[in-house]
Amino acid sequence: MNLDTNMESAEFLKGRSLWGDARARFFRNKAAVASLIILILISLFAIFGSYVTPWSNEEIDWNLMGDVQTLGGPSIETGHYFGLDPLGRDLFARVVQGTQISLMIGVVGALISVIVGTLYGATAGFVGGRIDNIMMRIVDILMAIPYMFVLILLLVVFGRSIFMLFVGIGMISWLDMARIARGQTLSIKNKEFVEAAVATGVSTPAIILRHIVPNLLGVVIVYATLLVPQMIMFESFISFLGLGVQEPLTSWGALINEGAGQMRYGTLWMLGFPLFFFLISLFAFFFLGDGLRDALDPKDR
Amino acid sequence: MNVQSPLLSVRDLKVWFDIRAKGALPWTPSQKLKAVDGVDFDLMPGETLGIVGESGCGKSTLARAIMRMVPAEAGTVMWLGDSLLELNKQDMREHRKEMQMIFQDPLASLNPRMTIGQIVAEPLKTHFPDIPASEVKERVREVLQRVGILPNMINRYPHEFSGGQCQRIGIARALIVKPQLIICDEPVSALDVSIQAQVINLLMDIQEEMGLSLIFIAHDLSVVKHISTRVMVLYLGNVVEISEAEQLYRAPGHPYTEALISAVPIPDPEAEASKEVMILDADLPSPLNPPSGCVFRTRCLIAGPECAQSKPPLKDLGNQQLVACHKR
Ligand SMILES: Nc1ncnc2c1ncn2[C@@H]1O[C@H](COP(=O)(O)OP(=O)(O)O)[C@@H](O)[C@H]1O
Ligand code: SF4
Ligand SMILES: [Mg+2]
């Protein structure tokens, strides 16, 4: 009787997956959890920020427009929480918009690299031989191209557009990931569980998706987290050069550029607010990546 | 006694690897590593063939060549009338469910990201994708029960089990498609001695129940003694002796087999103390540059000049005891 009930409850024994273990380790890391919370708050800011302010990002506040330097500072009364930008638009709304675009560029860049880079690298590594050789030489060649130069040329020739930025970021972001995924795949491929799958007759795509990719996902996630800030910085640099997203769109880099140009007039808020969001997100992404690495790969400390 | 036809028949199987020195220029010719260099044997239905040899002598490579996991340089592998090495990929896949494999490192042979239920079900789902999920689950439970793992563990992950349990799970994965042959590549080398016996006994029981054939690979003779019908001794990719297990232990034919047997401990301490152990001096020669003639001659105590001249063929000493030595 007793044994029976035991068996019954044992029926639902849950296993501790490696993912579960990693989650537990992650939540013990204070800096990483704090970073995660900060990033969630920044995302909420990007999504809902425009509902908090009475001003839109396009409207010019004609009342204050002439006196941005003296009256355009951050203030609750005027409703411009972050002050005005040089053209008299609400900076809060502009920062919300810039945050949306910068985060999107970072996340899209990382996603492209995760999907394209991981599958490309895993396939090259697993199939091996001549195909591997050709695939990786292509990566080498693409890497040898001075992409910053090419991207600037593209932006100049085809005109500045957010689409071109995505093309540029898509071109480069997956290359490193493909190399990393390939390296990992080479070591996973020799594990006996992959041999077992080959011996049983599991098809190559199924082996890559079921046995290889889940086992390199840990490394991929860590690298992708670190790639987001890299992409954001990349875009900011382009925008800082004045080649990035085009008005009326904006990004952190474009706002910082604008703010920096106004510094001599003493309107420091124009630089300060976007810079604050930019820096704090970068730090948060780096700490998050660090925490994820410790959590997902406990041997590698 | 009726004469059975063999289940598996391997003839003159050769597996050579191209070895290129690190940093060598692309046009320098690569060296050939003859990991398996002309192996012949037959395996009868229901039989267990033990394969023994030092580490690096080509046991795993032989097993993997039979399963077509490494390409063979030459030779034939006949399986139930089909020449495996000539089949196309699709036809070979059909045969893969008839032959399964068990590996040396029990934990490494299970995908750490999958539950053991998923792991054991994989071969079944691969070969019979149309079986309903409920039946898959039923078959997984059945086979886990058979190897001594509680079926309510199916949602657990490999790292939650001991080495012996992992090996049982590996056996369950092999059994679920009801194969006719299981190739066990050093299945107990990584386990504690007490657990080794349990796993070997489990394999023997299952073999009897299902009428399986086994190829059981080990690096020392004592392990295969218990389980094998016949034993094949490999040295540097060559078969040096193959015979009935009992015959081989009682009266080894090849000098190398003799040396291996003298190294097997005898349970009786007195006999153990007085017995002569033949020490194999000199190191194993490199498989990249094997000795001419008889590959064993650099370590053979009775080698003569003829041994460097030509490779000794396998010859029958009577009793189906095949030995490759000029002096026998
Ligand atoms: N994929 C490979 N590439 C090159 N050499 C290999 C490869 N696999 C095995 N070898 C070599 O072939 C020989 C036999 O190896 P193996 O079959 O693993 O031996 P065993 O299983 O008897 O220990 C060894 O010298 C090993 O270095
Ligand atoms: S052929 Fe010669 S070297 Fe080889 S085992 Fe026999 S006696 Fe020894
Ligand atoms: Mg081996």
What is the predicted pLDDT for the residue at B277? 65
What per-residue confidence (pLDDT) applies to A79?
Answer: 72
Per-residue pLDDT tens over the stretch B115-171:
999 999 999 999 999 999 999 999 999 999 999 999 889 999 999 999 999 999 999
Mean pLDDT of B29-34: 84
pLDDT of the residue at B92: 92
Q: What top-level class would CATH report for the domain B1-21+30-42+55-88+219-328?
A: alpha beta
| Pocket probe mutation, ligand 2, options B235, B254, B296, B311, max atoms within 8 Å of Cβ | B296
Q: How many angstroms separate the CA of residue A190 from the nearest CA in chain B?
A: 10
- Reported ipTM exceeds the 0.90 cut: no
Q: How far is CA B264 from CA A221, A227, B192, in A?
A: 51, 58, 18
Measured CA to CA, the distance from residue B175 to residue B159 in angstroms comes to 21
pTM: 0.82
Ranges of each domain in chain B = 1-21+30-42+55-88+219-328
Backbone φ/ψ region at A83: left (φ over 0), alpha (ψ -120 to 50), beta: left
Query: Which residues numbered 120-139 in B keep a CB inside 8 Å of some CB on A?
Result: 122-123, 126-127
Q: What is the pLDDT of residues B167-210, one digit of tens each?
A: 999 999 999 999 999 999 999 988 998 899 999 999 999 999 99
Tokens describing residue B290: 């094997």
Minimum distance, in Å, between the CA of residue B291 and any CA atom of chain A: 30
Q: What is the dihedral of CA A181, A185, A188, A189, to 10 degrees?
A: 170
Fold (topology level) of A18-57+77-296: MetI-like fold (1.10.3720)
Mean pLDDT, residues A266-286: 88
**What is the Cα–Cα distance from A131 to A134, expressed in whole angstroms?**
5
Domain boundaries, chain A: 18-57+77-296
Contact of A157 with chain B, judged by CB distance below 8 Å, is answered with no
Tokens 């490579």 identify what position? B61
Contact A152, A243 (CB under 8 A): yes
Three-state secondary structure call for residue B17: strand
Compute the distance between CA of residue B215 and CA of residue B101 in angstroms, rounded to an integer. Answer: 9
Percent of chain A, pLDDT > 70? 91
Q: Is A16 on the interface with B (CB under 8 A)?
A: yes
